[in-house]
Amino acid sequence: MRVVAAVFAALLLLGSKAAADVLITPAEAALPSSADARLELRGITRGPSLDQVSPKPATSVRSPFALKIKFAPHNNAKVDIAAARVTYLKVPPVDLTGRLRKYTGSDGIDMPIAEAPAGTHILRVELKDSLGRTSVSVIKLIVE
């Protein structure tokens, strides 16, 4: 009876473990890299800024990993979540916005278990605030 209870408990633990969500598929990672990572901003802007919290910039990680990007609006504005866009810089570009939508809030992106193949992945994040100001940043993910 103890063996049956132990097996049942192990199955419950395995079943309750959170599954990783795919951030980047192997097929997308195999696409040619885009040579264009320009930010395309003109003049001075105080649009929302962002900070790559996890994984730390210039740090390699193993998949799955936590993807956390913090948004910071300026001058009493609010981040316009509906206008946020995340693009994987490949040829052709891959729009990741839909995959990240459920992890995106006014304070940033918090994807606790992100799956991506090994390699260096460049993401372009575009934000807009309630005053119409736009910011564009590039995030570099290094996956072992």
CATH number of the domain that 85 lies in? 2.60.40.10
Q: Is residue 128 part of a domain?
A: yes
Alpha helices in 65-111, H assignment, sequence order = 97-100
From CA 125, how far away is CA 53, in angstroms rounded? 14
Q: Is residue 26 part of a domain?
A: yes
Q: Is residue 4 part of a domain?
A: no
Picking from 36-45, 53-62, 128-137, which range would have the lowest pLDDT averaged per residue? 36-45
Q: Is residue 14 part of a domain?
A: no
Contact 67, 137 (CB under 8 A): no
User: 30 φ, ψ to 5°?
Assistant: -80, -15
Q: Is residue 138 part of a domain?
A: yes
Q: In the chain, how many domains are there?
A: 1
Q: Is residue 116 part of a domain?
A: yes
Range of the domain at 113: 19-143
Asked if the model's pLDDT at residue 40 lies above 80, the reply is no
Q: Is residue 33 part of a domain?
A: yes
* Chain segment 87-131, per-residue pLDDT in tens: 999 999 999 999 999 999 999 999 999 999 999 999 999 999 999
* Chain segment 4-39, per-residue pLDDT in tens: 444 344 434 444 346 789 999 999 999 999 876 555
Residue 17, pLDDT score = 45
Q: What is the DSSP letter of 35?
A: S
Q: Is residue 54 part of a domain?
A: yes
